[in-house]
Structure 1
Amino acid sequence: MTDALTRAVLETERHVAAAGWDQPPRLFALVRTAGMLRREPGLAQQLGPQAVQAAQRDPEHLTSVEQEGVPRTSSLESVLGRLAWGPDVDGVALMVERLVVPPSAERDLPDAPDAAVEHLAAHPERADVRLLVAVLRDGEHVCALRQRGHDEDGSVAVGPDLVPGLVAALQATLEG
């Protein structure tokens, strides 16, 4: 895949991966680089010549702009439910890390939430994953998944439907 959104997802995922594991959620506005440079020509120097050239070659080229101050919360849905983006934002990307276990691991879970999390975290078949999900206003979306156990750029899975619930939640932040 070589479309603009997939390129932006892979670039953003590599940027996030450089900071290692055990990160809080990170949120990015996706902006078409050419439009951003027309509105703010002074950003050309900050973005660098590669981004400027990419925007000249491909008017769909996207730049990820990290949003600082994402509140730490146990309810990502509540944060997403309060987000709204201005018209200059063409899309949004979100990185989250999750613990994945096989369905059998959910049998015999302790009732206490903290004890249940400990039980799952200690499961021998657990896998730590990092998801980066991106959507555009027109509904186009791409997901990337990196496993801690296969922590290499060449091992990142990419596809449109890896996390459909998160795709829908992010798309909702662009509506209205």
Structure 2
Amino acid sequence: MTQPPTSPHPGQRALADAVREVEHHVAAAGWDAPVRVFALVRTQSALATEPGLADQLAPDVLAAATTDPWHLTSVEQEGLPSAPDLETLLAGLSWPDAVDGVAVSVERVVLPPAAEADMPQDPDAALRYLLEHPDRADVRLAVGVLRDGPSWCAVRSREHDADDQVGQGPDLVPGLVTALRSTLD
């Protein structure tokens, strides 16, 4: 007997939309940007708690929130604590129950697997190797998770820097998904 397919989480589409919006927002500022972190809140709940928020949202956002109870609003977090790396920053974050999810945008340099095999073990030499390698690729990752389940990732390369060239899917960056999910525990 086969199991019926499980239906997607009702917030999956809203999360995908929110991560795309975060990625486009960050992309508008250009490359070589710092890590940016966003709280994701259900727009209807935020409006019920803070009615003045309606004055700050575009009419199309308000209309979408009216028809979709899972519509999400991203709230960029200012004044993040200083941290030596992304892992340390995320390990120090926690969110109140009113936050339904979290998203992060970060830039990385990646190499093809064959080139990674030749990377030096010394951290300084590895960094030089990475930055000078002819096959390196600069990418921007935008990853979001909801407190109760789904994740969504968007990946843009500097070489193909166009809105219609952004790769997307629920688990493209599993390590970052796991790290973000831990901030919601």
Aligned match of 1:80 = 90
Aligned match of 1:49 = 59
Partners of 2:63 and 2:167 lie apart in 1 by 28
Indicate if the aligned counterparts of 1:8 and 1:62 stay in contact, CA closer than 8 A: yes
Indicate if the aligned counterparts of 2:82 and 2:89 stay in contact, CA closer than 8 A: no
Helix, strand or coil at the partner of 1:146: strand
Matched, 1:130 2:140: yes
Partners of 1:111 and 1:91 lie apart in 2 by 36
Shift of 1:68: 0.7
**RMSD of aligned alpha carbons:** 1.5
CA shift in 2, pair 1:81/1:52, >3 Å: same
Deviation larger for 44-53 or 135-144: 44-53
Q: Which residue of 144, 163, 166 corresponds with 2:173?
A: 163
Aligned match of 1:89 = 99
Aligned match of 2:184 = 174
Indicate if the aligned counterparts of 1:105 and 1:120 stay in contact, CA closer than 8 A: no
Partners of 2:83 and 2:158 lie apart in 1 by 23
TM-score, length-scaled by structure 1: 0.93
Question: What is the aligned-residue identity percentage?
Answer: 60
Shift of 1:165: 0.8
Aligned match of 1:12 = 22
Q: Which residue of 5, 29, 37 corresponds with 1:27?
A: 37
Shift of 1:69: 1.6
1:46 maps to a residue whose letter is: Q
2:16 maps to a residue whose letter is: T
Shift of 1:93: 0.1
TM-score, length-scaled by structure 2: 0.89
Gapped runs of 5+ residues in structure 1? none
1:133 maps to a residue whose letter is: V
CA shift in 2, pair 1:97/1:72, >3 Å: farther
Partners of 1:11 and 1:107 lie apart in 2 by 35
Matched, 1:99 2:109: yes
Aligned match of 1:63 = 73
Q: Which residue of 137, 159, 163 corresponds with 1:153?
A: 163
Partners of 2:108 and 2:125 lie apart in 1 by 17
Aligned match of 1:3 = 13
Shift of 1:110: 4.2
Partners of 1:123 and 1:109 lie apart in 2 by 10
Helix, strand or coil at the partner of 1:73: coil
Q: How many residues align?
A: 174
